Amino acid sequence: MCAGGARRVAGAVLSILPFAIASMAAQESGHKAWNQLELPWISARLGFAAMEDGAFYSQDAANERQVGNLSNEQLFRLDDLALRGELRFRIPWRYEIAGNYRGLDKTESRKWAFTDVNLAIPIGDLTVTVGKQKEGSGLELLENARDVPFMELSVMTTAMTVSESHVVGVRVSSSMAGGRLNWSAGWFNNWLDDKLSFGDSGQIFAGRLAGLAIEGKGGRELLHVGASAVYRQAPGGNLTLKSVPEVYEAGDFVDTGSFPADHATWIGGELAAVEGAFKLSAEYTGTLVSSAQTGDPRFSGFYIMASYVLTGETHPYDRGTGTFGAIRPSAPFSFRHGGSGAWEVAARYSKIDLTDGAVSGGVFDRWSGALSWYPTSEWRLEFNYGYGRLDRSGITGLTRFYQLRLQFQL
């Protein structure tokens, strides 16, 4: 980690601290949230996530030959600028309009990209969601990426997302067994984003069944199980699977390149257990590709993650989506009342294998540790360390990753 990069990140952190102090002071004053609107016929809430990231690397010579020399990065991101709320009919409809602005990123062109534009309509016991949305598969992919114990999603999750993580379509969802079990099934087509015709873009069918096998102690004792499946026609007759090494600013470590295929099927399983402040979760995904030209390759990935909240809080469970949410400090940091906020430690091992048949996308695994401080529900300061190994092009390369983030999420 070079001294100049560390100084830049420290300067960015110091530049945001006045806003943190102002936000905490506003919280203590008890004023009504300025970003919410409540009218008889509609409700609305404005939200966004602002993040100042720092990423630093230590590579061996083999890894430099594989992916080039990784330069230290400092990056500001503005994600999930969203307007969410209800249309207050007799049975309310939910709406969501959200996007990411990349104009402040040094690594991408200046542009705005919509992530969600959808309407959720209740029909009896069902909810029909129409528009651009998540396809509804996988525990980690469905969760808010800024609420998980690490700065970025696992390499398994990012590698298995062939198209954008948000696609246009129709999804039907519901719950049963007294709300302990939920399911969803949807049809999607990504032609609005991938610049292909509707037919060439290919159809996507996705489904998930997940819920609680055990629930007790007011949500502090849980056993979550789930399974997902996705069928994806190859857009334009080709597939590409790739992933960064759980560092947003880094380039792709594993990459199949574009190869001819008819379709691919993803099958995944998920498991999570909560006992008080301790949480253990794991996912596995297997990918079966129909590609006679490359020998019908099979890819796989998994992660296992453990986290412990030192101050006793737990990640809340949402029965409606079968996912976990953000830590909410029981004693927010306060100049007046002396709260300490919430502190969380976490460890994760993840692996992705994109080499099979005639496709050599590489094999990457990473050991990671994380320390997070949540002074309030909106603010988070986090450090991640990772040790990764990449087997690609007949070479095994090693990399150490050092990541910092200051995050504000409204």
Return the number of other C-beta atoms located less than 10 Å from residue 109's C-beta: 7
Closest CA to 250 of 81, 403, 102: 403
Q: What is the C-alpha to C-alpha distance for residues 84 and 95, in angstroms, rounded to an integer?
A: 6
Q: What is the C-alpha to C-alpha distance for residues 353 and 298, in angstroms, rounded to an integer?
A: 9
Return the number of other C-beta atoms located less than 10 Å from residue 97's C-beta: 18
More confident residue, 340 or 281: 281
CA distances from 394 to 63, 361, 387 (A): 12, 11, 20
Judged by DSSP in three states, 139 sits in helix
More confident residue, 16 or 363: 363
Render pLDDT for 129-154 as a digit per residue (tens, 0 to 9): 999 999 888 999 999 889 999 999 99
Q: pLDDT averaged over the chain? A: 88
Do 188 and 169 contact (CB within 8 A), yes or no? yes
Q: Which of 101-105, 191-195, 336-340 has the lowest mean pLDDT?
A: 101-105
Which burial class, exposed, middle or buried, applies to 361 when counting CB atoms under 10 A from its CB (0-12, 13-18, 19+)? buried
Q: How many Cα atoms occupy the beta-carbon half-sphere of 294 within 13 Å?
A: 28
Which burial class, exposed, middle or buried, applies to 179 when counting CB atoms under 10 A from its CB (0-12, 13-18, 19+)? exposed
Position 249 pLDDT exceeds 90 = no
Q: What is the C-alpha to C-alpha distance for residues 124 and 163, in angstroms, rounded to an integer?
A: 32
Q: Which helix (H) or strand (E) holds 29?
A: helix 3-29
Question: What percentage of the chain reaches a pLDDT higher than 90?
Answer: 69
Domains observed in the chain: 3-409 (2.40.160.10)
> Whole-model pTM?
0.87
Do 138 and 268 contact (CB within 8 A), yes or no? yes
As a whole number, mean pLDDT of residues 239-255 equals: 92
Q: How many Cα atoms occupy the beta-carbon half-sphere of 74 within 13 Å?
A: 14
Q: What is the C-alpha to C-alpha distance for residues 245 and 19, in angstroms, rounded to an integer?
A: 31
